[in-house]
Amino acid sequence: MDKEERKIINQGQEDEMEIYGYNLSRWKLAIVSLGVICTGGFLLLLLYWMPEWRVKATCVRAAIKDCEVVLLRTTDEFKMWFCAKIRILSLETHPVSSPKSMSNKLSNGHAVCLIENPTEDNRHGIRKYSQAESQQIRYFTHHSVKYFWNDTIHNFDFLKKLLYGVNEIAVKVPSVFKLLIKEVLNPFYIFQLFSVILWSTDEYYYYALAIVVMSIVSIVSSLYSIRKQYVMLHDMVATHSTVRVSVCRVNEEIEEIFSTDLVPGDVMVIPLNGTIMPCDAVLINGTCIVNESMLTGESVPVTKTNLPNPSVDVKGIGDELYNPETHKRHTLFCGTTVIQTRFYTGELVKAIVVRTGFSTSKGQLVRSILYPKPTDFKLYRDAYLFLLCLVAVAGIGFIYTIINSILNEVQVGVIIIESLDIITITVPPALPAAMTAGIVYAQRRLKKIGIFCISPQRINICGQLNLVCFDKTGTLTEDGLDLWGIQRVENARFLSPEENVCNEMLVKSQFVACLATCHSLTKIEGVLSGDPLDLKMFEAIGWILEEATEEETALHNRIMPTVVRPPKQLLPESTPAGNQEMELFELPAIYEIGIVRQFPFSSALQRMSVVARVLGDKKMDAYMKGAPEVIASLCKPETVPVDFQNVLEDFTKQGFRVIALAHRKLESKLTWHKVQNISRDAIENNMDFMGLIIMQNKLKQETPAVLEDLHKANIRTVMVTGDNMLTAVSVARDCGMILPQDKVIIAEALPPKDGKVAKINWHYADSLTQCSHPSAIASEAIPVKLVHDSLEDLQMTRYHFAMNGKSFSVILEHFQDLVPKLMLHGTVFARMAPDQKTQLIEALQNVDYFVGMCGDGANDCGALKRAHGGISLSELEASVASPFTSKTPSISCVPNLIREGRAALITSFCVFKFMALYSIIQYFSVTLLYSILSNLGDFQFLFIDLAIILVVVFTMSLNPAWKELVAQRPPSGLISGALLFSVLSQIIICIGFQSLGFFWVKQQPWYEVWHPKSDACNTTGSLLWNSSHLDNETELDEHNIQNYENTTVFFISSFQYLIVAIAFSKGKPFRQPCYKNYFFVFSVIFLYVFILFIMLYPVASVDQVLQIVCVPYQWRVTMLIIVLVNAFVSITVESFFLDMVLWKVVFSRDKQGEYRFSTTQPPQESVDRWGKCCLPWALGRGKKIPKAKYMYLAQELLVDPEWPPKPQTTTEAKGLVKGNGPRSPHHSTAASRSQRRR
């Protein structure tokens, strides 16, 4: 039954969910209603917070096909529950989906083949629904996506193909009332409401009022920020959501409609002056220049061309279906700006709508912002655990109070109030506000240094980062490339490299013609723009580009070609002197090349090509440029130099970006019209290899210094790039990511082929080309050191793995057990596609790294979102995907963010520890006073909670971050040995000194049970003091607040709050010292002076308000001594014993490899020696296994003789069995000796 009832929706996608069917049960509803009445509505709240319980408590299981309610659970690590109600849609009442109009829409224009694979399903669906016209469709909505029941697969599916709905990305801004209800029903506010009601019944009006005011301020500020985010997102989406668009109808009629009425299959006309796309559409006519910065982060205009011959393709290749990813060069994405269009005479630029609303690329981006994945962080999990501990402590107090009150025959009403009061004291109501303060201050400091944050909770997580991935181009290196030089080929031989391309000798060469024509540059408002690489090459030759105007284009029956020509001064003999020269002058004056057809750059093909014609030539030319290996494979072998591979490797090893050029004369039978319809493959073959362009990608000035800072702080750095492998390795060496003496092992993984299993060939980077003595390399001391361990121990060589995207995919699929080992040492990942970058981040997180990602937002969106801390260096809208955005496009923001993250994290710890101590101190004060049937007075509570606690908490968080990154890392959770020891030791000290004061006062010779006429002070002045209290006598007696014990406990505990605040306000190594936090210092000094003053020199009016009684001066001095000794013990234990001894133990294993190795001592021994002498029970040092997987793995690999793999060996995947043990797949012995030939 269970298996049958559970289905999976969105299988294999990020939002994959399990789905269960339920029907409402009347008898269950009746029982729950009764429970709600009996618990005074609390059960209702509990069911509101827990969707799973709500459904299970009110419904019974049912078949998904016929259910009324669905229960959804995410399949990721969070296992979150959602529920949704099934709704019914009647087909006959829904005009959009009526079968007739549907089929019309589908068969209109070329739409039949283009609706994202679904045609057959559509026809089948339409046929089926037309049979039963009154058919009802069942659906539910979850996270803005509608899921319809699909009979063919017996599951819910988002059948976009059948029912499209309105084309809009609706970000509804919830009403203030809705947001208020949602916010107020937070468990914490419910607890505060309970506390306020309780205090009001006990006449603690002032304190209750203070908490109400605090809660209101907190709720209002929270509502304001939530609503502001909704409004911002709504405005970002709504600006382009409704526009008027022209649509082609049957018989080529043009109809103007609102963009909200667009459905997939509509043929949309793109206006001449451009537009902002309201949907995803694929071009079928003409060309568009588009700014895609909204999606990619790159403001470089992109040329989009029409889909190659849809009609021919559909008949010819039946299985090739349109896909927005593979055909993105022909797809106009929602939210992107069409800057200008190019068109044919009489033919408009047309595009077919393929996706609308939330299904579009922009819609998916908005959904990911609206419904983000929760951030799982140990600090927050531990905080809940800590609160549970406080609740347990409160439970003990609750029971003690009841028993004590019964024994002393107290009234039932008072017992109930006092016992519940203990709970409200133990769980501090100001905790959320206190925890938020530190993060808000950190956010403000980040803003000052130009880092903007849209997810404040992640600031704390950034304090834990121990690995940062960097994109290369535009992040580590300068954005643009500089032309270093060219190396031409003549007669299949490389000529020597030349620096200057802009000279008279080369002006008419095919090489320069290729540079002049093979690009996607265009003029926008008179300015040349396009890919920076193309721009650099075009500028290097100094040519001029001219585009046809709209008028000229309209005169011709095809697109007027873009024309390029050299400047006159470059052409030889430009002054006439005689007949011969005159001819020469005329010829160059009209030397220009027209670009007839463009095949845009495709990252899948790694090349672009153009067909061009020199004015006056009969034959056309094809030019191609791209990745050297790809270009060489498409050229005639006899035109490629023999030493091509060596020359290429020499350049890439030096970190140059190399691009190859090729050319071929086309047959004269190829006319202009034929070229417009010819396929790409027919042009891109049989070319002549022309040579190489060598581009230099300079490192940004600050890169090496920033990386060195990170390495000193034991933060590992990894490069993730779309560039060539050897170039990436070279840049990694240049910037210090890989040190000169480190070995680089290249993992080249090959997928299974022809019945053979997948395998990995291992090469050592420097031995790729010259490896004359493989045995010598193999017998070298193979490095066994973890990357970036302690910098002192460089005598042992370290090693790094490098691989490309293809190898990475093969390893993920076939070598699961090798992935963690490669993650431990992988430093360079080249030719990585955007989704592979995200997979890499996940793989690193799986071995317990806290991963940061720094990219320029171009193709790093997924990775930036997935990382614990993603920093985008692009200020464009794509940075909406990233929690952090840096105003300055420099990686110096990374150490700044980590420093601020660490400061915020330590602040959170300080505040949490302080709040825990505050509640325990107050809890113990009240428990002691309950034992004599007394309590703290209303104004005493008010003074402690408002004047001391709130002031201290909000100023305590103001310490700025420490100036530099240090090698230690703050602990990640509250439940760590050092922090627990800190809290427990302070609790014991505070309880000890409070008890001392409480019991010692009873031993004083002047002590008696206090009554209004008591006069322990023995002074005449006290008569006036006492007389002022006689008015309140009856009221005071009722609660028994005024007594010597109360006064003693009040003064000692007031000082204890301040002592603990100072003890916990840690400065170095993560925050600036406490004394630099002027607000905090001033507040604490002021409070100390004030409390000291009212203790030593009582002021009658203050004593009356605070309900303090007069005690002899000698006892006041005694209390001062108790407080001073308490301060000395607390600060000594926290600052010296804890910092000198315990934190060193915790931090000694916080190095990158977790342990520091030396040749003489086993890694664990030094740690254990400390552990044995310093409370092993508190630190949990008994176990030798490190907590983080990567540390455990590092220890394992130290003793693994098979690791790292030897050079020139091969590792084969295991047959059918997936690797499940910690051992690596077996090395094939036959392959281990054979040297792989290139």
**Catalytic residue numbers, as ranges:** 471
Given a contact cutoff of 8 angstroms between Cβ atoms, the answer to whether 137 and 334 are in contact is: no
Measured CA to CA, the distance from residue 39 to residue 34 in angstroms comes to 9
The token pair at 915 is: 């709040």
The residue assigned the tokens 């290139």 is 1238
C-alpha to C-alpha distance for 1216 and 543, rounded to whole angstroms: 59
Q: Can you tell me the distance from the alpha carbon of 877 to that of 289, in angstroms, rounded to the nearest whole number?
A: 19
User: Contact, 940 vs 1062, CB < 8 A?
Assistant: no
The amino acid occupying position 1127 is: A
Among residues 277, 289, 218, which one has the least CA distance to residue 245?
Answer: 277
How far is it, in rounded angstroms, from Cα 626 to Cα 602?
A: 9
Strands 544-546 and 527-529: unpaired
Six token digits for residue 690: 């022309």
User: Helices in 961-1020 by DSSP H: which ranges?
Assistant: 977-1002
Contacts (Cβ under 8 Å, ≥6 apart) of 1096: 1113, 1116, 1117, 1120
Q: Are 146 and 139 in contact (CB under 8 A)?
A: yes
Contact call for residues 109 and 267 (beta carbons, < 8 A): yes
3-state SS track over 541-603 = HCCEEECCCHHHHHHCCCCCCEEEECCHHHCCCCCCCCHHHHHHHHHHHCCCEEEEEEEEEEC
Q: How many CA atoms lie within 13 A of 1189 on its CB side?
A: 14
Give the span between the Cα atoms of 881 and 631, in whole angstroms: 36
| Dihedral sign, Cα of residue 353, residue 357, residue 359, residue 362 | positive
Residue 953: which of 920, 979, 914, 982 has the closest Cα? Answer: 914
State how far the Cα of 958 lies from the Cα of 1083, in Å rounded to an integer. 12
Instruction: Measure the CA–CA gap between 545 and 594, rounded to whole angstroms.
Output: 10
Q: What is the Cα–Cα distance from 699 to 655, expressed in whole angstroms?
A: 10
Find tokens 């016209």 and name the residue.
133
The verdict on whether omega for the bond into residue 1186 sits within 30 degrees of 0, i.e. cis, is: no
Q: How far apart are CA 178 and CA 183, in angstroms?
A: 9
Write down the residue that tokens 């709720």 correspond to.
Answer: 219
| E strand spans, 167-263 | 244-248, 254-258
Structural contact between residues 875 and 1025, judged by C-beta atoms closer than 8 angstroms:
no
Burial class (CB within 10 angstroms; exposed 0-12, middle 13-18, buried 19+) of 1159 = exposed
Pairing of strands 254-258, 244-248: antiparallel
User: Could you tell me where the DSSP H helices lie in 693-796?
Assistant: 703-712, 725-734, 774-779
Residues β-bridged to residue 146: 141
CA angle 1227/1228/1234 to nearest 5° reads 115
SS3 524: strand
